[in-house]
Amino acid sequence: MAASEKPLHIDIPVKLADVKVVFSIGALQFEGDLPASIFHMQLIEDDIAGWDAKSEVVAVFHTNAGHVTLHDNAYNSDRGIATGNPYRNLVANLIKRGVKVELCGATAKVHNWGNEDLLRDIKVNTDAMARTAQLVQQGFVKITE
């Protein structure tokens, strides 16, 4: 424990054997400079690894958060900037850890984004509401920020 770190007793320890969650991300809310949804996906992935649990984690980006799934050029064009997608490495790391990242097809249509505008390994679903309903009916727990 670091010298400045205070001890913390966990009163309700949680350990799951099977985790099925879908993050419905329609807007970015921030924990400092990091989108809370990305922070929470990193946290649950750390928990899953520590528990050695079986898991399925799906992130569905839609509405005002769909731009997170764009590659640098498409992001720059959509956002009117020249710095590239600041979330691309975070998304790539989540995908590497097993998170399935999806973009709402209805959001893509409204913004005129095609598959060629997306980061690698991003899947497009019909629309976020139908996909989230489908996953909940399959036993996934829905998490929204």
Instruction: Give the DSSP letter string of 115-126.
Output: GGGBPTT-EEES
Residue 1: predicted pLDDT? 55
- For residues 72 and 82, what is the distance between their CA atoms, to the nearest angstrom? 8
- Give the max Cα distance, the chain: 52
- For residues 45 and 141, what is the distance between their CA atoms, to the nearest angstrom? 15
pTM of the model: 0.94
The DSSP bridge partners found for residue 59 are 23, 101
- For residues 24 and 21, what is the distance between their CA atoms, to the nearest angstrom? 10
- For residues 103 and 142, what is the distance between their CA atoms, to the nearest angstrom? 16
Q: Which residues 6+ apart lie within 8 Å of 14 measured at CB?
A: 47
Residue 2: predicted pLDDT? 63
Low-confidence ranges of the chain (pLDDT < 50): none
Return the H-helix or E-strand segment holding 18: strand 18-25
Structure tokens at 58: 């799906």
